[in-house]
Chain A
Amino acid sequence: AQTVTQSQPEMSVQEAETVTLSCTYDTSESDYYLFWYKQPPSRQMILVIRQEAYKQQNATENRFSVNFQKAAKSFSLKISDSQLGDAAMYFCAYNIASGTYKYIFGTGTRLKVLA
């Protein structure tokens, strides 16, 4: 079965500090893509960062970076210098590089940023 697990329903971080959100997934496929999306109260899903499974180098986007461990099927998101605007639900997702490319999402982690 293809599943995505986010074991932290909620996380808190002080403004300007660093926080790591965890994600594990289960798939028998070898070629796939991994994503982190942010969903603020407005419900608009916003892409934060993506990682191609065939790339060993971890993706980075400004204050956001991932720790991709393919053998362990782990894909954690690190947010550095946290800002109040980072507060949102964060969803980990992946899709297989064939077929429909539909996303499989985790259950999400609510991130609170404390001033």
Chain B
Amino acid sequence: GAGVSQSPRYKVAKRGQDVALRCDPISGHVSLFWYQQALGQGPEFLTYFQNEAQLDKSGLPSDRFFAERPEGSVSTLKIQRTQQEDSAVYLCASSLPRQGTNSYEQYFGPGTRLTVT
């Protein structure tokens, strides 16, 4: 596709429910990132994939958060037993290190706004 897409755009969950957020990166992009953006704040790193390998999950706030990218393209961020503090926008970004340019800019999707009631 032309850009990074995410679905759903909006999700309302009752406290205690499980949710799954999907990210379709730009075709061929090797790297995929998940960020959490609380209201009025900048995005904060959650986890990073290089192809299907999850190389960094240091930003995941608890063991209720789980991410996967089984075939190295589409990724899913799953939150189990959602809590009110999980309410935020979840942004996905992809990038492809370009040989010889040393430019590692990330391309972002529109995000999923999660509201936990």
- Check if B42 sits within 8 Å of A33, measured CB to CB: no
- List A contacts of B109 (CB < 8 A): 44
> Would you call B42 and A105 a contact (CB within 8 A)?
yes
Q: Which residues of A contact B91 (CB under 8 A)?
A: 43, 45
Residues of A that sit less than 8 Å from B by CB: 4, 33, 35, 37, 42-47, 50, 52, 91, 93, 95, 97, 99-108
Q: A42-B110, A43-B89, A101-B95 are in contact. Are A50 and B105 (CB under 8 A)?
A: yes
A-B residue pairs in contact (CB < 8 Å), sample of 14:
A43-B91, A45-B43, A47-B105, A50-B103, A50-B105, A52-B103, A91-B43, A99-B56, A103-B33, A103-B93, A104-B45, A105-B35, A105-B43, A107-B42
A35 in complex: contacting residue of B44, B105, B111, CB < 8 Å: B105
Report how many A-B pairs have Cβ atoms within 8 Å: 66
A6 nearest CB across to chain B (Å): 8
* B: contact size bracket: 20 to 34
Q: Tell whether, in the assembled complex, residue A101 and residue B104 are in contact, meaning their CB atoms are under 8 Å apart.
A: yes
The digit string for B75-117, where 1 denotes a CB below 8 A from any CB of A, is 0000000000000010101010100001111111111010000
A43-B89, A50-B105 known; A100 and B43 CB under 8 Å?
A: no
> B6-39, CB under 8 A of A: which get 1 and which 0?
0000000000000000000000000101010000
- In the complex, the answer to whether B55 meets A100 with C-beta atoms within 8 Å is yes
Contact B45 A103 (CB under 8 A): yes
B56 touches A100 (CB 8 A): yes
Given the contacts A45-B91, A106-B42, A107-B42, A33 and B104 also touching, CB distance less than 8 Å: yes
